[in-house]
Amino acid sequence: MAKIKKYKIARRLGSGVYEKTQGQKFMLSEQKRAKSRGSRPKRPTDYGLSLIKKQRIRFAYGVSEKQFRNYVNKAMNAAKVGLVPSEVLAKTIESRLDNVIYRSGIATTRAFARQLTTHGHFLVNGKRLDVPSYLVKSGDVISIREGSQSKTVFAELSDRLASAQVPAWLTVDVKKMTVTVSGEPKDPDPFFDFQSVIEFYSK
């Protein structure tokens, strides 16, 4: 997706929706834009605000509307067995293979993680997978395919993994360059309001 289009989406949904719009460059661009406009933006309606919260998650994780709705339906059905829908939704979307690649530090953005996954660079439990939406589970081990390890894109991977801020539910082995799913996703980013999304689809 072009940088200009991402900037436009981030203006509407918030800078946290993309990794590249969370830096100083985007902030300075927005400050300059606000000064040139002079007027304050219109406050969205309650429906508009709920829609923004939904779109934040969908765009950030790179999920289609149909796929996202399936995740929501799964989460809402989980209430029948006593689970909290918002927590199920957060765990489901965080468990996507492309997101795990991003969270581990292998890729710097979710979009890049999707690209790497689609190109078949990764193995899950020794089996090659090229489906970004594949949902990992506790105990799964993600590794880089032997034929891909010499690729330029992985040249400085050890340094990236060593300095990455990895969530507690993932365990990274820098020497082996593997990622183990050691638990369930929890403590979602506060920028994403999963409860609001459940309420939006419940209306």
pLDDT in tens, 160-180: 899 999 999 999 999 999 999
Q: Using pLDDT thresholds of 50, 70 and 90, give the confidence band for residue 28.
A: low
Residue with tokens 């081990």: 141
Question: What's the pTM value of the predicted model, to 2 decimals?
Answer: 0.84
The class (CATH top level) of 96-181 is alpha beta
What average pLDDT score do residues 134-154 get? 96
pLDDT higher for 8 or 117? 117
What average pLDDT score do residues 108-127 get? 96
Select from 45, 44, 52 the least CA-distant residue to 17. Answer: 52
Q: Return the pLDDT at 120.
A: 97
Domain boundaries, the chain: 3-35+43-91+192-202, 96-181
Position 4 pLDDT exceeds 60: no
What average pLDDT score do residues 69-93 get? 97
DSSP string of 160-196, one letter each residue: HHHH----TTEEEETTTTEEEE-S---S--TT--HHH
pLDDT higher for 162 or 134? 134
Select from 91, 173, 177 the least CA-distant residue to 138. Answer: 91
Q: Return the pLDDT at 36.
A: 67
Q: Using pLDDT thresholds of 50, 70 and 90, give the confidence band for residue 26.
A: low
Select from 30, 82, 78 the least CA-distant residue to 22. Answer: 30
